Amino acid sequence: MANVRVGMVGYKFMGKAHSNAYRALPMFFPDAASKPVMKVICGRDPVQLEQARTQFGWEQSVTDWRELVTRDDVDLIDINAPSDAHKEIALAAAANGKHIFCEKPLALSLKDSREMLEAAENAGVTHMVGFNYRFAPAVQLAKKLISEGRIGKIYHFRGVFLQDWIIDPNFPLVWRLQKEIAGSGSHGDLGAHVIDMARYLVGEFDEVIGMSETFVKQRPIASAMTGLSAKGEAGGELGDVSVDDATVFMARFEGGAMGSIEATRFAAGHRCTNAFEINGSKGSIKFDFERVNELQVYFTEDAEDVQGFRRVLATDPAHAYMDAWWPAGHTIGYEHTFTHEVLELMNALSEGRQPVPNFVDGVKCQEVLEAVDLSIAERRWVKLNEM
């Protein structure tokens, strides 16, 4: 089993999630084909960085990612800095022959994401993009049922990602609400996950048309920007919100299915409703991330007096990854999706193949995101092949 020495840029929400995955992998998946070594963590603020280093368990730290990407003792660059930094770091990592694990969205634009893919492919490095929700066992079960034809031909995909963390107009103007850093609002942050889920389960998009809205157009300027947990203060100076609060779009898939997708940060009562439903000719599937261990499944071929959605608790040995954790019925949570994601990365690195999802998926997701943006700007249906 080879060691993979990781250099990670970023130490906030995603940096913590990734660190945890690296720590958990050897304990729960001792048979992983490679083993991550938490070599170097990188961030700009030296004080916070050192705190993160010791807390998360990294061997060393550097404050300049330019140094990180050239180090001989690092095999893989893990990029989870704010979105506007992804491209430059990724290009430099590729140029230095480093493998790359990049959080979503891949970049601020489709053009940038394509450049990243091209750079990675030209450098011949391994590349992965962080669509972690694919790795929930319940989602893996959905994929399996569809792949085995047990849901039949797919007619409908209905996906939402509903949150409510900025519904208070006094919630401050954190970086995720600024276009120049975040690239996009709910659409790129939340919608990207739904798009990836749709691609994973239903297939490629054919055409889209969307609408979006910024309900609260100005917010107090944040004194400190810390992930999702900033508290707002009324009465302070206001700045313009430059991203969407909500984006809704319709889609047609190449396979003929109809899609309806919505991302919003203004759905009161929804902390993290990343949910979808798929209806096929032989059955249906429902998933809601707030109940990450569960999949609702319906089969048209069930006996006629007992037809109904089954609530499958995807914690049995029959379910992906669950043998590695706890006995049936003992649930797992959000962070475990990252451990499974890193497992895929480590296995791919050892097997000399690209992991899934990789930068191709990142680019294709970005194509859909921008096709939707274009459809909003021009108020018309946009074919994906226009992109």
Binding to a second copy by CB under 8 A, coded x per residue (else -) over 10-49, reads ---x---x-xx--xx-xx--x-------------------
Instruction: Pick from 63, 254, 281, 353 the residue near a second copy by CB under 8 A.
Output: 281
Task: Specify whether the CB–CB gap between 155 and 377 falls below 8 A.
Answer: no
| Chain residues 148-187 in contact with a second copy, contact rule CB under 8 A | 155-156, 158, 160, 162-165, 167-168
Q: How many CB atoms lie within 10 A of CB 304?
A: 7
Of 2 and 328, which CB lies nearer to a second copy in the complex structure?
328
Question: Which range touches a second copy (CB under 8 A), out of 2-10, 99-107, 180-188, 308-316?
Answer: 308-316
Residue 26 one-letter amino acid? P
**Min. distance of Cβ 237 from a second copy in angstroms?**
23
Nearer to a second copy, 70 or 334 (CB): 334
CA dihedral 303, 309, 310, 315 (to 10 degrees): 150
Smallest CA-to-CA distance from 68 within 42, 48, 90 is with 42
At 41, phi and psi to the nearest 5? -110, 145
Is 223 or 307 the residue whose CB approaches a second copy more closely?
Answer: 307
Residue 362, Ramachandran bin (φ over 0: left; ψ between -120 and 50: alpha; else beta): alpha
Contacting residue, 9, 41, 141, 198, with a second copy by CB under 8 A: 141
Rank residues 292 and 349 by Cβ distance to a second copy and give the closer one: 292
Q: Does 144 bind a second copy (CB under 8 A)?
A: yes
Is 269 exposed, middle or buried, given 0-12, 13-18 or 19+ CB atoms closer than 10 A? exposed
Asked whether position 203 contacts a second copy by CB under 8 A, the answer is: no
Contact predicate 154/254, CB 8 Å = no
DSSP 114: H
| C-beta neighbour count of 309 within 10 angstroms | 14
Interacting residues with a second copy between 313 and 342 (CB under 8 A) = 313, 315-319, 325-336
Q: Please report, as residue ranges, which positions from 205 to 234 form the binding site for a second copy (by CB under 8 A).
A: 209-211, 213, 215, 227-229
Any idea what DSSP says for residue 48?
Answer: H
Name the minimum Å distance from CB 345 to a second copy. 20
Under rule CB under 8 A, residue 283 binds a second copy:
yes
Binders of a second copy among residues 238 to 267 (CB under 8 A) are 246, 248-250, 252, 256, 258, 260, 262, 264, 266-267
Amino acid identity of residue 350, one-letter, is S
End-to-end CA gap in the chain: 42
Interaction between residue 270 and a second copy (CB under 8 A): yes
Euclidean distance between CA atoms 210 and 374, whole angstroms? 9
Does position 63 interact with a second copy (CB under 8 A)? The reply is no
The answer to whether the CB of 267 falls within 8 A of the CB of 161 is no
Q: How far out from the chain centre does Cα 171 lie?
A: 24
Q: Looking only at residues 101 through 130 of this chain, which bind a second copy when binding is defined by CB under 8 A?
A: none
In whole angstroms, the minimum distance from the beta carbon of 228 to a second copy comes to 4
> For residue 236, with 0-12 CB atoms within 10 Å meaning exposed, 13-18 middle and 19 or more buried, which class applies?
middle
Beta carbon of residue 304, minimum distance to a second copy (angstroms, whole number): 4
Q: Which segment (64-72, 217-225, 234-242, 268-276) binds a second copy by CB under 8 A?
A: 268-276
Q: Give the other-Cβ count within 10 Å of 317's Cβ.
A: 8
Identify which range of 99-107, 191-199, 235-243, 379-387 contacts a second copy by CB under 8 A: 379-387
Name the minimum Å distance from CB 261 to a second copy: 9
Strands 60-62 and 294-299: unpaired
The residue from 240, 290, 351, 386 that contacts a second copy (CB under 8 A) is 290
